[in-house]
Amino acid sequence: MCGSIAAYKSLELVRLLKKDGADTKVILTKSALNFVTPLSCQTLSTHETYIDQFVLTAGIKHLSLADWADILVIAPATANIIGKAAAGIGDDLLSTTILSFRKPVLFVPAMDTGMWGNTIVQDNVSKLKAHGCLFIEPTSGTLASGKVGKGRFPYPALIRKKILSVTAGYNSLNHSRFLISGGRTEEDIDSVRVITNRSSGRMALELLYAVSCRDGVAKAVIGETNMTFPGEFDVTRARTADEMYGALKKEFRWCDCLIMAAAVGDYRPRTRSIRKIHAKTHTLSLTKNKDVVKTLVAKKKDKVIVGFSLEDKIDITRGKEKMKAKGLDMCVVNTAQGVGSTSANALILKKNGRSVRLGKVSKWELAHTILDECSELMRGHT
Ligand SMILES: Cc1cc2nc3c(=O)[nH]c(=O)nc-3n(C[C@H](O)[C@H](O)[C@H](O)COP(=O)(O)O)c2cc1C
């Protein structure tokens, strides 16, 4: 952690990593001591906090720490440490550890927008990237100075996901553009009641995290959801099947790949009462909604289209039928058990007849497998 006002947010990152079972050691620069205390870092990481390079305890600290860790995360990274690292300077414990580190190095810059926009800082960032260092771009918003612009420290949950992606060794998506739908649609019965389903939106959220951690670009259209989508993501909200279709249609030209993780309602009430219904009994007559994905597929050109088929049990026959009927390139067959859960029982069917049997996996792992298969299809391999 460096001397930035965002250092306190990094304490949350240490906490999240600890919760994942990751072992985390914290190096603080001298400037960072003005913003967070060694005691906080020590308590959260359950390790000594490292500050001084020249100490009398056993071992050469910058070398032993560089050997010990699988990944070095500089969060927050100041303009100063970025400049020192780009120039190959090693004048304190953190900068010498960076120089000694032979595994992935991830910078998470946070600074005022003027500093971030400075061409010297940008040249240093480019130089470090050319040397293989990884970056999470700061986000835009209101900064500590009160100014609005780019420079904000990203959401700690996103940094955590990036660390998980890097350490798992997932490939880059090379700026491919993914349009992702998620959550559930709802349709009005009357002024207060709706028909809907139990989809949570978690699959779409994991896909958004996975795309952004692998250098892809994502836009999402999200219906009703139980999840919190961080402000960093480009999300359009849609409530009904018609709204979802309209929002997806608007962005469809932009994308290389559409992943339809949303549970779009098949039906809506034939009529909607503008007043609350008080009748003793009420018969609901339903009519079919537009088939969102099928309508979009008609304009697909060379885009890759991924659909989902959810049944009570894994149903390959139904998945194949759905893939054919809707013109999908890939279909994620999964079960009702996964609705609202962090895991799914899934199997991926591809147009060429190949299938990937996953069994029970976390939605995070499933998101990465879907993206791996999509990038294969986008590269023209079937
Ligand atoms: C209140 C305050 C907030 C600061 N916030 C940042 C910041 O967010 N990003 C940054 O690059 N520098 C920031 N600085 C300047 C750094 O603290 C300064 O460049 C320092 O030398 C960085 O040292 P380090 O990189 O060794 O931690 C801030 C300074 C002050 C006084």
Question: What secondary structure does DSSP assign to 270-314, as a single string?
Answer: SS--SS----SS-PPPEEEPP-HHHHHHTT-TT-EEEEEEEESS-
- With a 6 Å cutoff on the Cβ, whether 1 touches ligand 1 is no
- With a 6 Å cutoff on the Cβ, whether 200 touches ligand 1 is no
Whether residue 57 has pLDDT greater than 80: no
Answer for the pair 369, 358: CB distance below 8 angstroms, yes or no. Answer: yes
Atom of ligand 1 nearest to the CA of 2: 27
> What is the topology classification, in CATH, of domain 7-168?
Rossmann fold (3.40.50)
- With a 6 Å cutoff on the Cβ, whether 95 touches ligand 1 is no
Task: Let me know if the fold of 7-168 is the same as that of 177-378.
Answer: yes
The structure tokens listed for 336 are 């009702």
pLDDT over 90, % of the chain: 89
The structure tokens listed for 377 are 């299809």
- With a 6 Å cutoff on the Cβ, whether 5 touches ligand 1 is yes
Nearest CA to ligand 1 atom 9: 111
- With a 6 Å cutoff on the Cβ, whether 3 touches ligand 1 is yes
Q: How confident is the model at residue 55 (pLDDT cuts 50, 70, 90)?
A: confident
pLDDT over 70, % of the chain: 99
Residue-averaged pLDDT of the chain: 95
Measured distance CA(319)–CA(349) in Å, rounded: 7
pLDDT of residue 134: 97
Say how many Å lie between the CA of residue 245 and the centre of ligand 1: 46
How many Cβ atoms sit within 10 Å of the Cβ of residue 146? 6
pLDDT in tens, 80-106: 999 999 999 999 999 999 999 999 999
pTM attached to this predicted model: 0.90
The structure tokens listed for 321 are 């039928």
Nearest CA to ligand 1 atom 29: 4
Measured distance CA(287)–CA(265) in Å, rounded: 11
Domain coordinates in residue numbering, the chain: 7-168, 177-378
Say how many Å lie between the CA of residue 3 and the centre of ligand 1: 4
Pocket test for ligand 1, best of 2, 9, 112 (most atoms within 8 A of CB): 2
Question: What is the average pLDDT across 246-266?
Answer: 97
pLDDT in tens, 205-244: 999 999 999 999 999 999 999 999 998 899 999 999 999 9
pLDDT of residue 75: 98
Measured distance CA(9)–CA(7) in Å, rounded: 5
Whether residue 142 has pLDDT greater than 90: no
- With a 6 Å cutoff on the Cβ, whether 240 touches ligand 1 is no
Whether residue 50 has pLDDT greater than 80: yes
- With a 6 Å cutoff on the Cβ, whether 4 touches ligand 1 is yes
CA angle centred on 61, ends 58 and 62, rounded to 5°: 155
- With a 6 Å cutoff on the Cβ, whether 99 touches ligand 1 is no
- With a 6 Å cutoff on the Cβ, whether 118 touches ligand 1 is no
Q: How confident is the model at residue 306 (pLDDT cuts 50, 70, 90)?
A: very high
For residues 165, 166, 168 and 173, what is the CA-based torsion angle, rounded to 10 degrees? 60
Checking DSSP bridges between strand 257-260 and strand 194-195, what pairing results, if any? unpaired
Whether residue 352 has pLDDT greater than 80: yes
Atom of ligand 1 nearest to the CA of 94: 26
- Please list, in sequence order, all residues whose beta carbon lies within 8 angstroms of the beta carbon of residue 126, skipping any fewer than 6 positions away: none
CA atoms within 13 A on the CB side of 144: 13
More confident residue, 57 or 234: 234
CATH (residue range 177-378): 3.40.50.10300
What residues pair up with 288 in beta bridges, in sequence order? 267
Pocket test for ligand 1, best of 26, 28, 31 (most atoms within 8 A of CB): 31
Question: What is the average pLDDT across 314-327?
Answer: 93
pLDDT of residue 205: 97
Whether residue 382 has pLDDT greater than 70: no
Say how many Å lie between the CA of residue 155 and the centre of ligand 1: 19
pLDDT of residue 381: 56
Q: What are phi and psi of 280, to 5 degrees?
A: -65, -45
Quote the radius of gyration of the chain (alpha carbons, Å). Answer: 24
